[in-house]
Amino acid sequence: MKRRVIVAAVAAVVATVVTTVAAAGCGQQSQAGGGSFPSRNVEIMVPAAAGGGWDLTARSMQQVLKAGKLVDRPVEVYNVAGAGGTVGLSQLVNKGKGDSHQWMMTGLVMVGAIEQNKSAADLTEVTPIATLTAEPEVVVVPGKSRYRDLKTLLDDLAANPAAIKWGGGSVGGTDHLVVGLLAKAAGVQPRQIQYVGYSGGGEAKAGLLSGDVMAGVSGVSEFQPLIASGELRALAVTGPKGVTVAGKQVPSVKEAGFDVELMNWRALVAAPGISDADTQAVARIIDRMHASPEWQETLKRQGWEDFYRSGPQAREFIAAETTRIKALIGELGLA
């Protein structure tokens, strides 16, 4: 009888240990990005108001992830607007640490905003997952302008920086950064340029058409209708090679003889402090999304350039862009 009690006790202990180890293993699998990841809803923060480029990208991702059945949990998108995305970045860094289910859209605009707003949080603190899309900027002048190529425009800028008045989006934004890079390529100190920052694309177009500014910069899609109508003339694009805009071949800035390249890129990052296994689990989901027919169709439909880099390539690219843009913001006198 005594022997039976001892055997039963040992069996109970073994069962308890097995149960505990199994439970621990399940929890580790979920937390470390195993087969049960994600273990709850995935949340994608858009650190800007609804309707912009980041918002459209995040909601397109949401649709593709659902349509392709790439995650077995709901994917939610929400907006946190303010200060060029740095309000949302701060929230992710301070409240999302260690949570692999918290993702955020980011991009070139945020890099500049971090410097201008002296943000306590920066992109070195988050977990880069992948760059997704990119769009070149285009340099334009009014259709009646005497400038027919970029070299003539930049030669005049070099001769008298105050003589050329530029227009584009907000001060310190992507358009302003392009003008700063063009100035440097022409041998002009970036802070010498005359730049008018408009609050929206409509105002920038009006400024160009009315003659308030002599040259403008924006995304290709923004100016494409006016280029097609002949009201604006495209001089160059800031991508690695020339493109066709409204049926007309437009050279890259490099092809025009100036060593400038800048793409308005967008990327996905995750919360800081997540494990390597979780990082890999998230990256696998986004890799599958990028390879899916639904995402490729989205790129085509939206006119987005495929700018996919994941893992170490994404980290290296974002780090390099952060260093480059930080220096340029300082040279523009905006830091």
DSSP state of 304: P
CA distances (Å), origin 285, targets 37, 68, 71, 190, 240: 10, 11, 7, 41, 29
Query: What integer best gives the mean pLDDT of the chain?
Result: 89
pLDDT over 90 at 233, yes or no: yes
Are 102 and 93 within 8 A, CB to CB?
A: no
23 pLDDT higher than 90: no
> Pairing relation of β-strands 127-142 and 305-310?
antiparallel
Whole-angstrom Cα distance, residue 126 to residue 86? 12
Class of domain 136-250: alpha beta
Spatial contact of 109 and 85, defined as CB atoms under 8 Å apart = yes
Q: Say what the pTM is.
A: 0.82
Q: Do domains 42-134+263-331 and 136-250 have the same CATH topology?
A: yes
Cis geometry, peptide bond prior to residue 161 (ω within 30 degrees of 0) = no
pLDDT at position 35: 52
Instruction: For residue range 112-124, list pLDDT tens digits in order.
Output: 999 999 999 999 9
Query: Given a cut of 80, is residue 21 above it in pLDDT?
Result: no
pLDDT at 9 over 50: no
pLDDT at residue 75 in the model: 97
pLDDT band at 245; cut points 50, 70, 90: very high
Asked if residues 114 and 331 have their Cβ atoms less than 8 Å apart, the reply is no
- In the CATH hierarchy, which fold is given to the domain comprising 42-134+263-331? D-Maltodextrin-Binding Protein; domain 2 (3.40.190)
Whole-number percent of the chain with pLDDT over 90: 82
pLDDT one-digit tens code per residue, 174-199: 999 999 999 999 999 999 999 999 87
Whether the pLDDT of residue 95 is over 60: the answer is: yes
Percent of the chain with pLDDT over 70: 90
Q: Which two tokens stand for residue 24?
A: 């621990």
What is the sign, positive or negative, of the torsion defined by CA atoms of 100, 107, 248, 226? positive
Per-domain boundaries in the chain: 42-134+263-331, 136-250
Helix (H) or strand (E) holding 237: strand 232-237
What are the Cα distances from residue 159, in Å, to 149, 150, 153, 192, 319?
A: 16, 14, 10, 12, 35
What's residue 303's pLDDT? 83
Q: Tell me the two tokens of residue 299.
A: 């790129």
Mean pLDDT on 59-63? 97
Whether the per-residue pLDDT at 158 is higher than 50: the answer is: yes
Helix (H) or strand (E) holding 192: none
Query: What confidence score (pLDDT) does residue 8 get?
Result: 44
Report how far residue 24's alpha carbon sits from residue 11's, in angstroms, rounded to the nearest whole number.
Answer: 20
In 3D, which of 88, 111, 134 has the Cα closest to residue 318?
111
Of the two residues 207 and 13, the one the predictor is more confident about is: 207
pLDDT tens digits, one per residue of 271-324:
999 999 999 999 999 999 999 999 999 999 988 999 999 999 999 999 999 999
pLDDT tens-digit profile of 67-78?
999 999 999 999
